[in-house]
Amino acid sequence: MMQERDLRKTARSLQEAAGKPASTVAQGPKPVKAEPEAALAALIETRMVNAAWVLRRLPDREKGFLRMRGALWPETLAEPGTYPRAAMSAFEARRRVRISAAEIDQMQPTLDLLLLLPDITDRQIVFWAAWHQEGETGNRISWVKVRRSLGLTLSRWTLKRRYEASLMWLAALVALQ
């Protein structure tokens, strides 16, 4: 019941973002005017990338504990790797931006959409493709990184085809809500 409510909330917010007013979302068996699934699939992809990016930026408690332990009981001899580098990369700078509560609130229902995919491998493909886009929706996804994360021997064309089919499947399900 709770997951169904979250799905309706996500569907409503996705349709509002697509320019469709929330009042036209189906409330039962009424037919809904079909939304272009390609635009909805692009919004779902953007949401997945943002959700994966929020997951990557969540604080690592174990790493924080180890850092705190070093502050309380510092090593006597400094090692070459203990001092910070002079410059930060653009990726590290973007990763240090604080997560807002709204981003976390959007993350969970978006990740719950993955559970609607019938095949576990398709869920993993969509998640790892979003994870490896590093917070920015781009035209090119590194399918080599996705394949390495999955541990599969599928070709990049198969991965891309299954990724796009999964996004279209999710867009069709959201459009039905």
pLDDT, tens digit, for every residue of 75-113? 555 555 555 556 767 767 777 777 888 888 888 899 899
Backbone angles phi, psi at 85, to 5 degrees: -70, 160
Torsion of CA 60, 80, 88, 58, to 10 degrees: 0
pLDDT of amino acid 29: 42
3-7, 106-110, 144-148: least confident range: 3-7
Please report whether residue 162 resides in a domain. yes
Whole-number percent of the chain with pLDDT over 70: 63
Please report whether residue 114 resides in a domain. yes
Please report whether residue 167 resides in a domain. yes
| pLDDT tier at 7, thresholds 50, 70, 90 | low
Please report whether residue 110 resides in a domain. yes
**Residue closest to 3 by CA, chosen among 173, 126, 119:** 173
- The tally of domains found in the chain comes to 1
Please report whether residue 71 resides in a domain. no
Please report whether residue 75 resides in a domain. no
Please report whether residue 66 resides in a domain. no
Q: Is 47 a residue whose pLDDT tops 70?
A: yes
Please report whether residue 70 resides in a domain. no
48: domain range?
A: 2-21+33-60+87-176
Q: How far apart are alpha carbons 67 and 60 in whole angstroms?
A: 11
Q: How far apart are alpha carbons 81 and 154 in whole angstroms?
A: 38
Q: How far apart are alpha carbons 58 and 74 in whole angstroms?
A: 26
pLDDT, tens digit, for every residue of 157-170? 999 999 999 999 99
- Beta-carbon contacts of 96 under 8 Å, excluding residues fewer than 6 positions away, are 88
pTM exceeds 0.75: no
